[in-house]
Structure 1
Amino acid sequence: MSVAQTLFGAAKMQAKDKSRTLTSEQLYLIDAYWRATNYLSVGQIYLSNNPLLKRPLELSDIKVMLLGHWGTTPGQNFIYVHLNRVIKQHDLNMIYVSGPGHGGPAVLANTYLEGSYSEIYPDISQDEAGLQKLFLQFSFPGGIPSHASPECPGSIHEGGELGYSLSHAFGAAFDNPDLIVACVVGDGEAETGPLATAWHSNKFLSPATDGAVLPILHLNGYKIANPTILARIAKDELTQLMRGYGWTPIFVEGDEPTLMHQAMAAALDEAVQLIKKFQQNARENSDLNRPAWPMIILNSPKGWTGPKEVDGYKIEGTFRAHQVPISAPVNHPGHLALLSDWLSSYRPQELFDECGCLLPEIAALAPTGERRMGANPHANGGLLLQDLKMPDYRDYACEVTTPGVRGVGDTRVLAPFLRDVTKLNDKAQNFRVFGPDETISNGLAALFETTRRQWNVTTNANDEYLAASGRVVEMLSEHQCEGWLEGYLLTGRHGLFNCYEAFIHIIDSMFNQHAKWLKVSSALSWRPKIASLNYLLASHVWRQDHNGFTHQDPGFIDVVVNKKAEIVRVYLPPDANCLLSVMDHCLRSRHYVNVVIAGKHPAPQWLTMEEAEKHCAQGIGIWHWAGNLSHDAIEQTPDVVMACCGDVPTLETLAAVSILREYLPTLKVRVVNVVDLMRLQPETEHPHGLNCQDFDALFTTDKPVIFAFHAYPSLIHQLTYRRTNHHNIHVRGYKEEGTITTAFDMTVLNEIDRFHLVIDALERLPQTGAKGIELKQLLHEKLIAHKKYINKNGLDMPEIRDWRWTSSV
């Protein structure tokens, strides 16, 4: 008879309490599974050899560098094994989001024991040799990180930077009606602004058409060095807080394993029953009122089951359990015995056979197949991703009979296209638009011709476009919109984030983390590519004249271009037809971050759709019609290159060119427009980069280049510093000058206006002689007249407002 069978018999002989959820046998097996995961977690932090303690522990068995985080790990192991039970008992479709930082040991241990890890990484086999490799690779050079990183099966959330787990969980639940997302929220993480706001995500979840999120707030009392707020407030205050957020809290509290196992099992059964009840009521009785969804508050010691005391300091239940509770035995000889006792306390000989395999009766607790949380396809969204059904963007084109015709606003032209993308994919329910209360403001009102804003709170008679289910999700929190969209994409769907340009900065760090995820996962053959993260930034810096300095910041581009070249793309379409072409490309793309910047105000339209398609496909090109060289101008040498990137810079550049052509008709001018910003980099630096020959053909090797750029000028220099003619590239862009003023004055304040551009060119063209000097004086007078006029009249001069491009200069 095995040790396990002997213990089963002893457990069955214990008095049975009918009120308890778990039988004695279930209780033993769950506790054994938990001990196994804890043992594996400690082993990952400490051991390089002797994985089953078949001989006494020696210094040579211990890693030279001890890295990892123990404090959150036993609580997460406890949660995971109990989730396994309810998955099997209720046949649940569930994924696991690990919110606390550095929770890697727990998810790695659990995915290893359930078998999903070894299926992806066969060399990490389920035997003694595999255990040793599992331990050695953790937080080790050439190994794996200490987070729930992309390398870990079942993960959609790394948990390095804190605050986003719950918004990711809700993004995953949208449009996945049979999915439950178990989201572990650390009590340190709960102090972040994004997480504190994310509790409100329940106001946007439809019980009829969406899945469910089961938050598990893990109170273990401490962060790295300080207590946590939610663990120190009174229980009734915490209860009121969560009820105020609209949740039904279920508490599991204590440190005695037997009682805690019973309490956790009962809590999960109650939570699952409530979720099923709410969903059934919505789906069968059409009751779309917002339920008070269940959540679990697990209060357990930090570093539970770990060493109680080390070197006279209390460890378990204190902040000292946060990372590596027993420091390197090589420097502290007494620590080797402490570590040995700790590992032995899990009784590995009762858990694993001689070969290092988990005993079959314990292993049987885990779900099988795709019901394992490490193997659930929703946690590997590329497996589920379906192409969007796309309308033909050409059908939405502006008619451009001649360059410079007036348009209604580029995003307003785009909006019907997005409306029909939404409509065509309505049955698939796999496309959403997220944004912080700015969809209409950004010119996308046409979306509401086919959908509504999803909203599950009280509505009033004067509200517009609100419904229990909709394709647009708006909350005045950029963090939530970003987190929802990331969770939506990571689970195999498509989406778009529209936002004011200045305030997309709020999610700089979230973008960073997602870009890192894409970079790492792109190298994992078992993770198919997901849909791109698409940003549409409207209400941009040059058209925030009425809102003032606070709304004027184009710096998100600078953040984006620092990420890996194979991941990021930045597009600045000069007009609506180019915007349509670019957005069609972005929505079809995979595994990128696409940043598209476009205006919403009436603006000139430059290219026919056919011209726009060619221009966007090239990403950069000469606008022959705008210069005064012939159409084989690439073979001719201009006197000056007038380059532009962005809609307003394009407008001001063409207005500047019209001045040069009128006053200096013999001057040879070339106009180069940039749509794809990354074309400016060398091909060795970015997949879209131009080779040196093609770049020089556009910008010459020795002529002045006056470059009007949408954002900060330094970025163009950063992208082009290796180019032959870089010393002749003179960039005008945003230089942190702004206020409430007129649209044209915004360009004047930053010296990107047509007058400054011409002056800049003339200062580098001494051959213009007296005519050039005369023109410069005239333009300086224009700038003075402009300032006087706007200060008196509150709007731009008629010659600015009424200016139109004409080729007959």
Structure 2
Amino acid sequence: MSKKDPLTREQVRDINAWWRAANYLSACQLYLLDNPLLREPLRPEHLKRSIVGHWGTCPGQNFIYTHLNRAIVKYDLDMIYISGPGHGGNAIVAQDYLDGSYSEIYPNISQDTEGMKKLFKQFSFPGGIPSTASPETPGSINDGGELGYSLAHAFGAVMDNPDLIAACVVGDGEAETGPLATSWHSNKFLNPITDGAVLPILHLNGFKISNPSVFSRLTREETEMFFKGCGWEPRFVEGDDPEQMHQKMAAAMDWAIREIQRIQEYARSSGSVERPRWPMIVFRSPKGWTGPAEVDGKPSEGCWRSHQIPIPVWDGKPGRVEELETWLRSYHPEELFDQQGALIPRLQELAPKGDRRMGANPHANGGLLLRDLRTPDFREYGVAVPQPGAVEAQDTQVLGGYVRDLIKRNLKSRNFRVFGPDVTSSNQLSAMLQATGRRWTDQPEEEMNNHLDQDGRVMDAMLSEHMCQGWLEGYLLTGRHGFFTCYEAFTRIVDSMVAQHAKWLKVCRQLPWRQKIASLNYVLSSNVWQQDHNGYTHQDPGFLDHVANKKADVVRLYLPPDANCLLSCFDHCIKSRNYINVIVASKHPRPQWLTMDQAVKHCTQGIGIWQWASNDRGVEPDVIMACCGDTPTLETLAAVTILHHYLPQLKIRVVNVVDLMKLQPHTEHPHGLTDEDYDAIFTKDKPIIFAFHGYPTLVHELTYRRHNKNLHVRGYKEEGTITTPFDMRVQNDIDRFDLVIDTVMRLPQLGNSAAYLIQEMKDKLIEHHQYITTYGQDMPEIRNWAWNEGKGIYLD
């Protein structure tokens, strides 16, 4: 031991003892049902019959966590721990148990022999807890069930948290995923004055499930060059001798914390936001460190074989139980825990206290810190609509004005940001840039500066849906508000991320100690129905289908038909808690249908008969013309004007759906209509011609239990290219002419009297095709159509 070593011999002894205790608890969670402290010889009846879990990452994570604890105590740090490796939940649970934070939340898992027995049994056991750092794990904001998002979550967590450090352990397998590989560039968007710091720790243990990892096969020089090229200053901690590794890690940790403090102190005293080179640690240790060196004569420690269960105790080979006992006793639990099963007092003193414990840090239970937004009155931003369809507006452009003032009202509290992959202007939300800029710490020449701001609240300078969503999730999970804006089609890129967040929320709703967080809100525009310069690649409304399949008490789907409805929906969503809200809105000039008062009532109910567009008052309707989405609403109303003109005797009920989940029975979704309410709107047997924004099958899935089976849905059916807006509707049979044909074909009482109308509609479709291929734009009667009290501009 050198005089330059940061730790004394006694400190190494105690830190190593804590690490041994954590490793022991991690290993025992895999195997044991009873005999938690090995006070008697290990027997088969003490073991779980089905051994499920992972060992390989646990010793390394325990090593890191132990040294982070030391740094927290030494520097009085406000720090959270983010576990990136896929399966190492037993390590984080072990650490929470050792510092007492686990037993505070789960008193039945007490810090004694009986509590330890329950701790071991519950892991990867029916009725227990998963093998990942799941919502059940105190201190976790990142479930490792899907790899790639830990570092993005870390950066989101420290935004507007100037005193917080997010220590993020990145597994070397995780480091190969696309989202994680992109996440290294998040340091370009961190403001050292107003934000906290992320301390990435790349954990190189050499292997994934059964393959070597890419980073572990790079030379040290290549690894250093990679991270320096990404703007980091890496410090390497490598080896397998515990005493030396403790000294190396302590030195590296001290260096990293001092560098973070130096960077922040300089920025905050000088006012300079010039991008620094943040510290990070590259930690190389054997996979399955301290586990069995060999099993059946084959390497285990330092090999892919230690990834899951090092000793397969139930494979029928003799001596397995004894082999396991030898391994577990190598940690000497009798030296670490007293007769009652509690951690010995000398080791208890090593842990941070109170909220400084990473398992008890309130930032990792963000609802504890969540404060309501200061919101303007959305009604003040509404569009004046003297008559339905009398004026045009761009819905998202109107919303932009509301968001602008929402940002202004919350600038001081610093608890609201907007996230999206460089689509703010394209999605017509530029008004909010009047209140703030786009976050970018490196400033370009003045003539190139398009609202770039070193303290901007708009996080749209990264062209990565994964990254923007990961930042937002970390921001929400630590107690703030925001929303994600994106092109509708490319929200599919984060399908799996929204699935993971939905699972997180579902579990959190069952945990009374997990406080509610602000909802994950999406505003999707540039939608499927108008992609005249992008074409087929930008056409996919399937995000709605994906989200609709998630747990009903978590997801909400809104398709406002105009700007006033969009304002009402957005205001509701931004104030909500513990939901995933998806809003699909138009950014193009569109007729406006409802006054603000009408829009509020309509959105509150989520579905309704538009009486001003219907003519069935007091009588049974002949047909229900239903619509959901801005473009389907427009085409439905245009079809209604044609039917009113040619078949005035036809009784038509127009129904508009804003809240898509209203279609599902109330027994399946909290927003769903009762059968009685559904039948009152849609009748039990009249034909329903439903024009829908997305894939028709989704409406069928939501309504298949309803009484009225006479449902005919028109929607997107994977047809489209670079073409005119109206031709997109024609190609997918959702246009007004096809809707008219479909309607009269479903009404046998019309007999042959509608034959001429059908022929005229078919002629119109031919005329439309000839016109667009000649002039490259839609026919004047399409472009200039207006509702005009139901008479419409419909035909020459």
TM-score bracket for the superposition, by shorter chain length: over 0.9
Q: In the alignment, is the contact (CA less than 8 A) between 1:22 and 1:262 conserved in 2?
A: yes
Q: Answer yes or no: is 1:647 the counterpart of 2:659.
A: no
Partner of 1:13: none
* Native 8 Å contact 2:443 2:454 kept in 1: no
Give the deviation of 1:331 after TM superposition: 1.9
Q: Determine whether 1:487 maps to 2:470.
A: no
**1:448-487 superposed matches below 5 A:** 448-461=433-446, 462-474=448-460, 475-487=462-474
Structure 1 position 406, deviation (Å): 3.0
Q: State which of 742, 766, 786 in structure 1 corresponds to 2:748.
A: 766
Which of these residues, 589, 597, 600, is aligned with residue 610 of structure 1? 597
Question: Which residue is equivalent to 1:595?
Answer: 582
| 1:168 partner letter | H
CA distance in 1, matches of 2:114, 2:334: 16
Q: Which residue number in structure 1 is paired with residue 659 of structure 2?
A: 676
Q: Which amino acid aligns with 1:734?
A: Y
What is the DSSP-based 3-state SS (H/G/I as helix, E as strand, rest coil) of the residue aligned with 2:713? strand
Whether contact under 8 Å (1:68, 1:324) holds in the other structure is: yes
**What is the one-letter code of the residue matched to 1:119?**
E
For the pair 1:778 / 2:760, whether they are aligned, the reply is yes
The amino acid across from 2:637 in the alignment is: L
Which of residues 179, 187, 191 in structure 2 aligns to 1:202? 187
The one of 687, 702, 719 equivalent to 2:702 is 719
Distance 1:458 1:429 in 2: 22
The answer as to 2:781 corresponding to 1:799 is yes
**Paired residue secondary structure (2:788):** coil
1:576 aligned to 544, 563, 584, which one? Answer: 563
Q: Which amino acid aligns with 1:754?
A: R
Write out per-residue CA displacement over residues 726-781 of structure 1, whole angstroms, 9 at most, x where no aligned residue: 2x100000000010000000000000000000100010112223431110000000
Distance 2:282 2:622 in 1: 71
TM-score, scaled to structure 2 = 0.99
C-alpha separation in 2, matches of 1:332 and 1:368: 46
1:1-39 Cα shifts (integer Å, max 9, x gaps):
xxxxxxxxxxxxxxx522000111111110000000000
- Indicate whether 1:560 and 2:568 are aligned: no
Change (3 A) 1:587 1:599: same
Pick one of 716, 719, 724 that aligns with 1:742: 724
Aligned partner letter, 2:731: L
Q: CA deviation at 1:59?
A: 1.1
- Note the C-alpha offset of 1:284: 0.6
Shift of 1:808: 5.5
RMSD of Structure 2 on Structure 1 (CA) = 0.8
Could you say what secondary structure the match of 1:134 adopts? Answer: helix
The answer for the alignment partner of 2:397 in structure 1 is 412
- Give the superposition deviation at 1:333: 2.1
Q: Say whether 1:115 aligns with 2:115.
A: no
Deviations 1:138-174 (A, max 9, x none): 0000000000000000000011100000000000010
State the Cα distance separating 1:405 from its structure 2 match: 2.3
Q: Is it true that 1:755 corresponds to 2:755 in the alignment?
A: no
Q: 1:504 maps to which residue?
A: 491
- Give, as a single letter, the amino acid of the residue that structure 1 aligns with 2:702: L
Residues in 1 aligned to 2:713 and 2:88: alpha-carbon distance in whole angstroms: 47
- Structure 2 unaligned regions, length at least 5: 792-796
Q: Is the 8 A contact 2:443 2:453 kept in 1?
A: no
Q: Is the 8 A contact 2:640 2:790 kept in 1?
A: no
CA contact (8 A) 1:59 1:329 kept: no
* 8 Å contact kept, 2:714–2:734: yes
What is the CA–CA distance in structure 2 between the aligned matches of 1:377 and 1:59, rounded to whole Å?
A: 41
C-alpha separation in 1, matches of 2:666 and 2:110: 42
Distance 1:68 1:334 in 2: 21
Aligned mates of 2:313, 2:414 — CA distance in 1: 53
**Contact 1:59 / 1:330 at 8 angstroms: preserved in 2?**
no
8 A Cα contact 1:711 1:734, kept in partner: yes
User: 1-side partners of 2:332 and 2:158: how far apart?
Assistant: 39
Match of 1:192 in 2: 177
Contact kept? 1:172, 1:181, Cα under 8 Å: yes
Q: Does the alignment pair 1:685 with 2:672?
A: no
Question: Could you tell me how far apart the structure 1 residues matched to 2:546 and 2:454 are?
Answer: 36
Amino acid at match of 2:695: Y
Match of 1:86?
A: 71
State the partner residue of 1:6. Answer: none
783-792 or 52-61, larger mean C-alpha shift: 52-61
Aligned: 1:257 with 2:239: no
Q: Helix, strand or coil: the match of 2:200?
A: strand
Write the distance in 2 (CA, Å) between the matches of 1:766 and 1:135.
69
Letter in 1 for 2:277: A
* Equivalent residues, number: 789
Identity of aligned residues (%): 64
Q: How does 1:163-242 map to 2 (within 5 A)?
A: 163-242=148-227
Matched, 1:377 2:362: yes
Shift of 1:381: 0.3
Q: Among 63, 81, 85, which residue is 2:48 paired with?
A: 63
Matched with 1:248 is: 233
1:629 to 613, 616, 636: 616
Q: How far is the alpha carbon of 1:391 from its aligned partner?
A: 0.1
Match of 1:97 among 71, 82, 86: 82
Distance 1:18 1:328 in 2: 46
Q: Which runs of 5+ in 1 are unaligned?
A: 1-15
Matched letter for residue 499 of structure 1: C
Q: Does 1:546 align with 2:529?
A: no
Higher mean C-alpha deviation, range 299-308 or range 449-458: 449-458
Partners of 1:658 and 1:359 lie apart in 2 by 82
Matched, 1:358 2:354: no
> How far off its partner does 1:62 sit?
1.1
Q: CA deviation at 1:545?
A: 2.2
CA distance in 2, matches of 1:212, 1:467: 19
Task: State the distance in 1 between where 2:612 and 2:313 align.
Answer: 72
Partner SS, residue 751 of structure 2: helix
SS at match of 2:141: coil
Whole-angstrom CA distance in 2 between matches of 1:160 and 1:572: 31
CA distance in 2, matches of 1:229, 1:458: 34
SS of structure 1 residue aligned to 2:612? coil
Equivalent-residue separation in structure 1 for 2:444 and 2:508 (angstroms): 42
Which of 501, 505, 511 lines up with 1:524 in the alignment? Answer: 511
Who is 1:10 aligned against? none
Deviation at 1:110, TM superposition (A): 0.1
SS in 2 for 1:771: coil
Contact 1:435-1:497 at 8 Å conserved across structures:
yes
The 1-side partners of 2:443 and 2:516 are apart by 39
Q: Which residue of 2 aligns with 1:145?
A: 130
Amino acid aligned to 1:393: F
C-alpha separation between the residues in 2 aligned to 1:22 and 1:574? Answer: 66
Question: Does the 8 Å CA contact 2:235/2:280 hold for their aligned counterparts?
Answer: yes
- Does residue 437 of the first structure (1) align with residue 422 of the second (2)? yes
- On the 8 A contact 1:73/1:106 being kept in 2, the answer is yes
Structure-2 separation of matches of 1:421 and 1:687: 29
